[in-house]
Amino acid sequence: MSSYDEKNVAALDRDGKQVAVLAENKDDLESRMTDNDNDARVSDAIAAENAEKNIGFFAAVKTYRRAVLWSMAISLCLVMEGYDTALLGAAIATPAFRKKFGYYAGAAKGYQLKPAWQAALGQGPTVGSFCGIFIASYCQDRFGYRRTIQAGLVAMTAFIFVVFFAPRIEIFFLGGMLCGLPWGAFSSSAVAYASEITPIRLRGYLTTYVNLCWIMGQFLSAAVVLEVTNKRQDDWAYRIPFAIQWVWPIPIFILVTLAPESPWFLVRRGRLDEAQKAVARLSSGSERASPAETVAMMVRTNKIEEESHVSTSYLECFKGANLRRTEITTVAWACTIFAGSAFANHPEYFFIQAGMSTTQSFKITLGLRALGFLGTLGSWILMSHFGRRQMYLFGLSADAIILLLVGILASTTHSQGAIWAQGALVMLWVFFWDLSVTVTAYAIVGEMSSTRLRAKSVGLARNLYNVCGIGAGFLNTYSVSATAWNWKGKAAFLWFGTCVLALVWTFFRLPESRMRSFRELDILFERRVPARDFEKTVIADDEEK
């Protein structure tokens, strides 16, 4: 028997159940990964990579069902973030909120917030998220994804008190900014975790499921606000929806505690025996590679990246091939803003200013979230036939045309029928946005960065998204506000222009990453393969440079 023979050992998993896992002695495993045993390491790594790439979809779901379930559990944090972010926009559209924190602008306009404060309330949490992402990126590299999310959940529970009891608009703004800190941890951790614990065949589906959770939170927020505002006209009309946020942290904290840590994180920290046990918890069945082979694949990829860049600092993200990878992850996520999301994805106030009642506005918003949900489900079907690049080009093209039509309608007629037509077009925009643009962005961000720099790359991408979101939020607020520029639907022309710019960048700079292993992507970027040649370039199993 060689030192590579696998031994059956019993290990107690986090659920308290006795499971059979394949494990080797730590010294044997580490010896296997040395240069003296390079051939065996490469052979194991190739076997694991091919097993992930060649397995069918349904077989992958069955074999990696535990990874799917744990990824879905961690992604529930984004239900919280989606609920909270949508709630802020809905609160501003609530009469009771504007009456408490705003001023009387006359019989025609009623109570309004000052445009500066309206923009600040919408973007305060984004500022907090910006800071939270940098903190979370450090914590992810040092302590792992699970501990980072747990700390975020505890902080979120505390910060909700500030928003709920805020007596003045300044305190409300502070509370929203504080809530943004853990949101940053959730948004970056969930995407990175999903991309690392799932196999190549399922990676795109589970990273885009993060977006589905965000939509579910927005849908729930719209439903709660519609129900409460129809029954109350006092301060509780906006306080009750905020109080409901206290429901999430405890059950999600328990799930995160039980979840396995990312084996890629454990490999980067040199904890190979723990990585092997984590892999064993995430998969089962004869169609998978053995845990030892899977860890060998991770070690091989990590070694390739170590040879390219020893450092894992933020500065490394802007050197050599990593500069291009950073550009792709950051701009791809920012393109979801440039597509017009500040205008079309938070339309409550726009609809009210266009002449709809508050109830009508919230009903349409509820329909928007339902369409977004269906769009994300539809994207899973498209992903099995089309690549990331094709879906992005299609979605941006469709959204640009819709924004142009909304602007034309708003400029040519002000009839009630035109207002409803604009509402229908905005709903169509949301469907295409969630069908292709935003879901694809989650997959791109989760795949394009190197594994050693993933926490920092995802953090940088999300923060450029936040910066663009802040700028877009201020522009959109002033463009549709009744007491500022008052463009109403004509603001769509502005976002049509930015959407076209995003489309041009996508055509020239976005490569295809579908069904590529992290090793293959490392090699393609190191060779500086042009974006339009990524899909047709062949990488041999034994290549490492």
Amino acid at 381: I
- The answer to whether residue 29 scores a pLDDT higher than 90 is no
- The CA angle 91-244-70, to the nearest 5 degrees, is 115
Residue 159: enclosing H or E segment and its boundaries? helix 145-164
Scored b (16 or more CB within 10 A) or e, 81-94 reads bbbbbbbbbbbbbb
Task: Tell me 17's DSSP state.
Answer: -
Distance CA 268, CA 306 (A): 10
Asked if residues 513 and 447 have their Cβ atoms less than 8 Å apart, the reply is yes
Cβ burial, residue 528 (10 Å; 0-12/13-18/19+): exposed
Distance CA 408, CA 490 (A): 7
Distance CA 72, CA 284 (A): 18
Partnered with residue 18 across adjacent β-strands are 12
Asked if residues 335 and 501 have their Cβ atoms less than 8 Å apart, the reply is no
Distance CA 118, CA 108 (A): 19
Q: Which pLDDT score is estimated for 89?
A: 66
Partnered with residue 111 across adjacent β-strands are 104
Taking residues 166-182, report their average pLDDT: 90
Partnered with residue 7 across adjacent β-strands are 23
Q: Which pLDDT score is estimated for 354?
A: 60
- The answer to whether residue 68 scores a pLDDT higher than 80 is yes
Q: Which pLDDT score is estimated for 505?
A: 97
- The answer to whether residue 346 scores a pLDDT higher than 70 is no
Amino acid at 17: K
Stretch among 233-237, 297-301, 361-365, 514-518 having the lowest mean pLDDT? 361-365
Task: Tell me 98's DSSP state.
Answer: H
Block residue for tokens 């309608």: 409
Q: 7-12 and 111-112 as β-strands: parallel, antiparallel, unpaired? A: unpaired
Q: 111-112 and 18-23 as β-strands: parallel, antiparallel, unpaired? A: unpaired
Q: Which pLDDT score is estimated for 17?
A: 40
Instruction: Give the model confidence (pLDDT) of 453-492 as tens digits.
Output: 998 999 999 899 988 988 888 888 778 766 677 787 788 8
- The answer to whether residue 24 scores a pLDDT higher than 90 is no
For 55: left if phi > 0, alpha if psi spans -120 to 50, otherwise beta; the answer is beta
- The answer to whether residue 2 scores a pLDDT higher than 60 is no
Topology classification of domain 66-259+309-514 = Growth Hormone; Chain: A; (1.20.1250)
Q: Which pLDDT score is estimated for 352?
A: 66
Q: Which residues, 6+ apart, have CB-to-CB distance to 35 below 8 Å?
A: none
For the chain, state the CA radius of gyration: 24
Q: Which pLDDT score is estimated for 420?
A: 77
Q: Which pLDDT score is estimated for 334?
A: 95
pLDDT: is 251 or 233 the higher one?
Answer: 251
Greatest mean pLDDT among 27-36, 346-355, 483-492, 507-516:
507-516
Instruction: Give the model confidence (pLDDT) of 102-157 as tens digits.
Output: 887 777 777 778 877 877 887 788 888 889 999 999 999 999 999 999 999 999 99
Asked if residues 41 and 309 have their Cβ atoms less than 8 Å apart, the reply is no
Instruction: Give the model confidence (pLDDT) of 286-316 as tens digits.
Output: 788 889 999 999 999 998 888 877 677 888 9
Helix (H, G, I), strand (E, B) or coil at 262: coil
Asked if residues 293 and 78 have their Cβ atoms less than 8 Å apart, the reply is no
Q: How far is CA 491 from the centre of its chain?
A: 27
Distance CA 136, CA 182 (A): 8
- The answer to whether residue 162 scores a pLDDT higher than 80 is yes
Q: How far is CA 255 from the centre of its chain?
A: 19
Taking residues 203-216, report their average pLDDT: 88
Q: Mean pLDDT, the chain, as a whole number?
A: 84
Distance CA 368, CA 271 (A): 45
Scored b (16 or more CB within 10 A) or e, 370-398 reads bbbbebbebbeebbeebbbbbbbbbbbbb
Distance CA 477, CA 474 (A): 5
Distance CA 60, CA 54 (A): 10
Distance CA 494, CA 500 (A): 10
- The CA angle 470-473-475, to the nearest 5 degrees, is 110
Per DSSP, helices labelled H in 283-357 are 291-308, 320-338, 341-344, 348-354
Distance CA 128, CA 175 (A): 10
Quick one: pLDDT band at residue 327, thresholds 50, 70, 90? Answer: very high
pLDDT: is 221 or 17 the higher one?
Answer: 221
The tokens describing 477, both together, are: 């607020």
Helix (H, G, I), strand (E, B) or coil at 25: coil
Q: Which residues, 6+ apart, have CB-to-CB distance to 4 below 8 Å?
A: 24, 28, 32, 40, 292
Quick one: pLDDT band at residue 269, thresholds 50, 70, 90? Answer: very high
Q: Which pLDDT score is estimated for 8?
A: 36
Asked if residues 284 and 31 have their Cβ atoms less than 8 Å apart, the reply is no
Q: Which pLDDT score is estimated for 310?
A: 63
Distance CA 122, CA 89 (A): 7
Give the other-Cβ count within 10 Å of 245's Cβ: 20
Taking residues 44-64, report their average pLDDT: 91
Which pTM value belongs to this model?
A: 0.80
Percentage of the chain lying above the pLDDT 70 cut: 88
Q: How far is CA 341 from CA 109, 113, 429, 512, in A?
A: 26, 22, 9, 24
Quick one: pLDDT band at residue 347, thresholds 50, 70, 90? Answer: low
